[in-house]
Each structure stands twice: as structure tokens, then as C-alpha cells.
Amino acid sequence: MIEKIIGIKFNRFWGTIHFILTFIGVNLTFFPMHFLGLNGMPRRIPDYPDSYLIWNWIESWGSILSALGLVVFLFVFARILAFSFVRAVYVIEDVLLWEFKQAEKARQEYLDSWEKNKQDWIRENS
């Protein structure tokens, strides 16, 4: 979808890394909550018994992986925006250069026609 908006494709390698990190991180974060609930851990408590330590440790590492996947996504997205900005600068530069060439061509045509008219006037009046 982003390539249709910006015109530059996602790097396939970094996109795959982002997907894998986010997929594993989200599953490690939320899937153990199912087992914690089955084991009777109450929700919304700041402290938990030590019997839930392993599952909470897995959830914590899963959220770190999810955050790392987000950092990879932001890196790739910033890279895409930077490349699209550079590309836009090149397009603007090409347009301005083309306009400058057209203006120079029109100026030269005007000067040539002026010189021709001047020579015709001199010829007619001499």
C-alpha cells in the first residue's frame, strides 16, 4: 500500500525482518496471557505471585520483540520518506531546468526575431 502512496517499494529484506519480529513478539506477548488466565492469575494487578514468573518473563521479552519490530518499521519508513524526498527534489530540479531551457530558447528566439526585424528596417530605410 505504501508504494502506491509514495511510489517507492518497501525493501523486501527489511519488510520480512519487521514482519517476523512483530509476529513473534505479538504472539509471545499475548499468547502466554491465555495460560496465565487459565492458571488463575487475576488481571490488572501490579504484583504477581512467583509461580507466574516464567510466563511474565516470556511476555516481557515478547513486548521487547514487538518494540524492536516497530523500530525496524520506523527505520524502513524513514528511509522510504528520505528517498521519496530526494526523488521529489530531483523531479523539481528537472522541471526547473526544463523551464529554464524553455525560457532561454524563447529569449533567444525573441532576440533573433528582433535582430531580423532590425536588419529588415535598415534595409528598407537605406
What's the CA gap between 51 and 55, in Å, rounded?
9
Q: What is the pLDDT of residues 43-69, one digit of tens each?
A: 777 777 888 888 889 989 999 999 999
pLDDT tens per residue across span 11-34: 889 889 999 999 999 999 999 888
For residue 38, what are the domain limits?
Answer: 2-125
> pLDDT class for 2, splitting at 50, 70, 90?
low
Please tell me whether residue 8 adopts helix, strand or coil conformation: coil
**Spatial distance between the Cα atoms of 43 and 98, rounded to a whole number of angstroms:** 66
**Domains contained in the chain, number:** 1
pLDDT at site 72: 94
